[in-house]
Chains A and B, each alone.
Chain A
Amino acid sequence: MALKDIKTKIHATERTHKVTRAMEAVSAVKMRKTQSAALAGRSYARAALSILTRLSGTENAKRHPLATHRDGTKIALVLITSDKGLAGGLNSGVLKRAAEALGKRSIEEVTIYAYGKKGEEYFTRRGYRVARAFENKGDDVPLAVMEELAREVSDGFSRGDYDKVITVYSHFKSTFEQVPTMRRLLPLSLGALKDIVDGIIPAKGKWSHETPLEAPASYEVESLSGDVLGTLIPRLIAVALYHMLLEAKASEHSARMVAMKSASDKSKEVVHDLTHLFNKIRQAAITREVSEIIGGREALAT
């Protein structure tokens, strides 16, 4: 490689380093915010889902249409990914988990609700029907968006558009570990809900230790509409989805921070190596020139 090429490459790598370092700093700030939001939201989610779990154990809940198990294979997938990449293996992990969950179902049997562009692009490219796509942009998403989504999937389930509703998102464990996770939302069942509730371990507070989940056989119910479960279930599902979204956001920013940090470190290393090479080649050129001059002088002297 010529000296000039190396110099250009060093400059280019330095510029990349600046960009990745800036992105790292931005992600670090967002990471702190979204992590604390996710951790703070866990106790609420756990409280809400514990209600749902206890309710689902009661007799009238078992007979409710949203809790009825059907044998069909049609499925709705709520997929929570990020809008942008540059976050290491985060989205590909989630998408892989989603593809796995769909199994051998044909394209017609699947309805996709995509929250985040990456998931939408992935399934649109493969010809799946994306019923609804949301952008995953800001970090302050109102609960109302999730309520809308929850209502849509519960309505679709009641209509019989699909026999099962699952969701795939990335669960936040720590800054360095995010787990792509699949959960079943509908039909409501004690087992599936227990899985979700057990997965939510808040940092501290009442729900950080095991609480009894056994349910009273019946509840006295007070609501304006006759069908209290019909209103409660979608609302509590919205809380579940909201919780998953917070987890996904914390995961996204953590993953991006880590990815950008390793990119910054790597670019620094590359700059160092290139500078080394640059100096070596330059020194070689100087040495060669000096020896040429000396050789020329020797030839003249004799």
Chain B
Amino acid sequence: MAKTFHLTVAKVGENLFDGEAVSATVPGVEGVFQVLAGHEAFVSELAAGDVRVTTPDDTVHSFTISDHGIAEVSYNQATILL
């Protein structure tokens, strides 16, 4: 089984995703990046676009960011604020 990390995707007033994920593809302001387990500590502002999250059972969740997002990765856990 692929390594996982804990991912939280939240927007104001709502928790969109909270659980283990294999990978997350996120639109950063300097280009799209992918977060996998063991990613180094990292903070980024996000551009408009889609966040795609792959869970261990291979389902893909997709969330749309309009603007103003923040992503933070540390200690094998990631937080994405839309």
Q: List residues of chain A with CB under 8 Å of any chain B CB.
A: 37, 40-41, 43-44, 47-48, 50-51, 54-55, 143, 205-206, 212, 215-216, 218-224, 228, 231-232, 235-236, 239, 242
B15 partner residues in chain A, CB cutoff 8 A: 40, 43-44, 205-206
A44–B28 CB distance below 8 A: no
Residue of B whose beta carbon sits closest to that of A58: B41
A55 to B40, CA, bound (A): 14
The 9 closest A-B pairs by CB, nearest first: A216-B41, A222-B44, A51-B72, A44-B10, A223-B45, A219-B41, A219-B43, A220-B42, A206-B18
Interface residues on B, range: 20 to 34
A41–B13 CB distance below 8 A: yes
A221 and B43 in contact (CB under 8 A), knowing A50-B79, A54-B72? yes
B45–A222 CB distance below 8 A: yes
User: What are the interface flags for B18-39 relative to A under an 8 Å C-beta threshold, 1 for contact and 0 otherwise?
Assistant: 1000000000111000000000
Interface check B58, CB cutoff 8 A: no
User: What are the interface flags for B43-82 relative to A under an 8 Å C-beta threshold, 1 for contact and 0 otherwise?
Assistant: 1110000000000000000000000101010110001010
Interface check B12, CB cutoff 8 A: yes
Q: Residue A48 contacts which of B6, B42, B81 (CB distance < 8 angstroms)?
A: B81
A37 partner residues in chain B, CB cutoff 8 A: 13
A212–B30 CB distance below 8 A: no
Q: Which label, helix, strand, loop or mixed, suits the secondary structure of the B interface? A: strand
A223–B29 CB distance below 8 A: yes
Residue of A whose beta carbon sits closest to that of B79: A47
Residue of B whose beta carbon sits closest to that of A215: B74
A231 partner residues in chain B, CB cutoff 8 A: 45
A228 and B74 in contact (CB under 8 A), knowing A206-B18, A222-B28, A235-B68? no
Interface check B11, CB cutoff 8 A: yes
B43 partner residues in chain A, CB cutoff 8 A: 51, 55, 219-222, 228, 232
B40–A235 CB distance below 8 A: no
A235 and B70 in contact (CB under 8 A), knowing A50-B79, A224-B29, A224-B45? yes
Most B C-beta atoms less than 10 A away, residue of A41, A47, A51, A54: A47
How far is the CB of B41 from the nearest CB of chain A, in Å?
4
B28 partner residues in chain A, CB cutoff 8 A: 222
Query: Could you list 28 A-B pairs, sorted by A, with CB under 8 Å?
Result: A37-B13, A41-B12, A41-B13, A44-B10, A47-B79, A47-B81, A48-B81, A50-B79, A54-B72, A55-B43, A205-B18, A206-B18, A212-B75, A215-B74, A219-B41, A219-B72, A221-B43, A221-B44, A222-B44, A222-B45, A223-B29, A224-B45, A232-B45, A232-B70, A236-B70, A239-B12, A239-B81, A242-B12
A242 to B13, CA, bound (A): 10
Q: Residue B74 contacts which of A40, A48, A219, A222 (CB distance < 8 angstroms)?
A: A219
Residue of A whose beta carbon sits closest to that of B42: A220
A220–B45 CB distance below 8 A: no
A54 partner residues in chain B, CB cutoff 8 A: 72, 74
A50 to B70, CA, bound (A): 12
How far is the CB of B35 from the nearest CB of chain A, in Å?
12
B10–A47 CB distance below 8 A: yes
A143 to B72, CA, bound (A): 20
A44 to B82, CA, bound (A): 10
A212 to B13, CA, bound (A): 23
A41 to B11, CA, bound (A): 9
A51 to B10, CA, bound (A): 13
A44–B40 CB distance below 8 A: no
A218 and B41 in contact (CB under 8 A), knowing A43-B15, A51-B70? yes
